[in-house]
Amino acid sequence: GATTAPTFEGSGELNIYGSTILQNGMTYSVTSTRFRTTDAATITTNGVSMGTNYSQVIYLNGAGSLTLLDDFSTNGQILLQKGTFNTNDKNVTFYTLTSAYNTGSKVLNLGASNLYSTTPYNAAINTLAPDLTLNAGTSHVHVSGSLNNDVSVQYKGGDNFYDITFEEPNAT
């Protein structure tokens, strides 16, 4: 690794086609990160948040799988477009997690993860896409961050979550 903590930032789109390891202490601020793996890939963040504000988006849109090897955090959105996302029993913090419509087959494997949504608006998690398979395992979804707005978890018939806790009084 680098001898000093690097800064990785950009206002464009960053495409990642394989596994990723971030260095502890680095700054990661990229407007659009697209994981486009066609095989099995992993991500190790070493405590680095991948995104500093809600307008930054982490796209998961490769036909392969992406598996977390440690806790994952972003102040931005996670958008599952296709492929398989394995949270691997790790903690996952995000603004919103959404499944995109008509973008290809996708699988969300939550295992025993704790998921923390910090959105103050609308859907904290949206699994409405008809081409999404949700495997909730024994995961626990924590919905917080409400600013006097209705915050929800949106899902389609047949989707089952294990535990959901609405931690703000205006969340639904």
> pLDDT tens track of the chain, all 172 residues?
678 889 988 888 899 999 999 999 999 989 899 999 999 999 999 999 998 777 778 999 999 999 999 999 998 899 999 999 999 999 999 988 999 888 889 999 999 999 999 887 778 899 989 999 999 999 999 988 665 566 788 888 889 999 999 887 655 5
Separation between Cα atoms, residue 9 and residue 107, nearest integer Å: 29
Q: Of 116, 162, 109, which Cα lies nearest the Cα of 139?
A: 162
What is the torsion angle, in degrees rounded to the nearest 10, for the CA atoms of residue 10, residue 25, residue 87 and residue 132? Answer: -10
- CA distances for 77 relative to 1, 5, 54, 125, 157, angstroms: 28, 24, 6, 10, 24
What DSSP string describes 76-121?
A: SEEEEEEEEEE-TT--EEESEEEEPTTS--EEEE-TT-EEEE--SS
pTM above 0.85, yes or no: yes
Please tell me the predicted confidence (pLDDT) of residue 170.
58
Q: Of 91, 80, 38, which Cα lies nearest the Cα of 57?
A: 80
**Contact between residue 64 and residue 38 where contact means Cβ atoms under 8 Å apart:** yes
